[in-house]
Amino acid sequence: MEQEYAELSPSLLRLEQLLDEAGEQSMLLAELDGFLCCLAVGPEPIANSEWWPFDWLTDERGVLRSGSEEIAALIETRLAEISAELAADAYAPLFEVDEESDDIIWEVWIAGFQQAMLLRFEAWDDLLRDTESDIRGEAAMGLASALMLAQPDTRPDDTAGDEEWAEFDEMHEAMPMVIARTAVLLHQLHKPN
């Protein structure tokens, strides 16, 4: 389900380039993808005016900077793609990939998702507290696991044994698939039909 950057469409490659050109405050492509996914699967609708334009695309008056129309269109296109992929139960999150180790750096994606969660904190908090064995509970457990595992202080410390490290590594490696599955579950839960 994960899509490596070598497989990105021309529009996503262009979006990545524009994000890079937007400066240090802008999001990475994977981070933006997580943010947009959260908008698409959230428990409550979020109007574009609540998050757009991003601060890093505005001038000192809060107005979209001239020349940002292309990035705006590409962001809207990606949001529509995410919604279509989710509706087809075929969502492929865009994750960063470490060039040296080929490890998937899913934490960047979950950071973007978490930023959008803050727009509806109470609704997400209610969901995360639900650990029933139905679709809502499964989605809550998947999301809670990703959020927890992304925190640097959840790594085993120097006193941890091989078994504890092996368990951590296994959970960490499984997280890209857990995230993709959780996104689909959240979509099914909040956007029936």
Domains (range + CATH), the chain: 5-190 (1.20.120.740)
Taking only the tens place, the pLDDT of each residue in 8-18 is 899 999 999 99
Q: Provide the terminal-to-terminal Cα distance of the chain, rounded to the nearest Å.
A: 22
Taking only the tens place, the pLDDT of each residue in 116-131 is 999 999 999 999 998 7
- According to DSSP, the residues that pair with 101 across neighbouring strands are none
* Amino acid 4: pLDDT: 45
Is the pTM of the predicted complex or chain greater than 0.75?
A: yes
